[in-house]
Amino acid sequence: MIEVKNLSRYYGDFLALDQVSFTIPSGEVAGLLGLNGAGKTTCLRILTGFLFPSTGEVLLDGTDVFANPMESKRKIGYLPEHPPLYPELLVYDYLEFVGRLRGVDEAGLRQEIERVAGLTEVSEYLYAPIRTLSLGYRKRVGIAQALMGSPQFLIFDEPISGLDPRQIVEMRELLRKLARSHTVLVSSHILTEVRHTCDRVFILHHGKLVREALGPDLENIEDIFLKYTAGK
């Protein structure tokens, strides 16, 4: 379970997040939905421990992200909007590098690389330079690195941004598959994909959480989103 309590973040005098609170039960895919500049990326960076909040706390199954940073980071797999890839490396070498950073046991490192490559369907590209891959497959490699070490929580910032229609469908299927064994939080501003992918959605607007939608509400997420973000 992910618990976010009264999260605020200032950049100087600018309030980017304003007392945001929400809970994501284990085993769900949750979406953070909002216009550009709504505060989605700031929120995700705080949840992953890359950015400190001005106020508030984040708990991962009861573990405080900021009081126990190393323990928390071991529980998180993070994909930024622009994956932290090294274009000159082979996919295998990159995943090996990430695995060692995450403390994967050396004896099981090859097996772990093969596992995450299989989950993300990049096995046939393990010995290809990352720079030769399409955007869709670079995103898959980014997700593969987030899966190294089998973290409990997966947090992805705009994982479908820039993908073509077929790649979007494939990414949707991958996210649903990952939810069988992980709790997943994704940010997006693409309404239809949030509706197809997520079990619940949190709408951010001007740094505030203005609506939580789940169940039947997701069928009308476009109307709900427009209602809470139009004219403000």
Q: What SS3 class is residue 78? A: strand
The secondary element (H helix, E strand) that includes residue 175 is: helix 165-178
Dihedral sign (CA 30, 73, 36, 136): negative
pLDDT digits (tens, 9 = 90+) for 83-99: 889 999 999 999 999 99
Cα torsion at 141, 177, 217, 232 (round to 10°)?
-10
pLDDT at position 165 = 84
What's the distance, CA 103 to chain centroid? Answer: 21
- CA 9/CA 7 separation, integer angstroms: 7
**pLDDT of 174 above 70:** yes
Q: Which of 174, 147, 180 is nearest to 159 (CA)?
A: 174
Structurally, at CATH architecture level, domain 1-75+152-232 sits in: 3-Layer(aba) Sandwich (3.40)
Which of 232, 196, 193, 197 lies closest to 211, judged by CA?
A: 232
Q: Where are the beta strands (DSSP E) in the chain?
A: 2-11, 14-24, 29-33, 55-60, 63-64, 76-79, 153-157, 183-188, 200-205, 208-214
Mean pLDDT check: name the lowest of 14-23, 63-72, 154-163: 154-163
CA 126 to centroid of chain Cα atoms: 23
Tell me, what's the pLDDT at 231?
61
Lowest mean pLDDT among 3-7, 107-111, 217-221: 217-221
pLDDT at 29 over 80: yes
Arithmetic mean of pLDDT, 36-57: 93
What's the token pair of residue 68? 């126990």
Strands in 29-33's sheet, in edge-to-edge order, are 76-79, 153-157, 183-188, 29-33, 200-205, 208-214
pLDDT tens, residue by residue, 120-129: 889 999 999 9
Query: d(Cα 209, Cα 186) in Å, to the nearest integer?
Result: 15
Looking at per-residue confidence, does 122 or 163 come out higher?
122
Predicted confidence band of residue 232 (pLDDT cuts 50, 70, 90): low
Residue-level pLDDT at 230 = 80
- 101: which residues sit within 8 A by CB, 6+ positions away? none
- Work out the mean pLDDT of the chain and round it to a whole number: 91
Q: Is the pLDDT of residue 47 over 70?
A: yes
Helix axes 165-178, 109-120, angle to 10 degrees: 130
Residues of the chain with CATH 3.40.50.300: 1-75+152-232
Residue 210 pLDDT > 90, yes or no?
Answer: yes
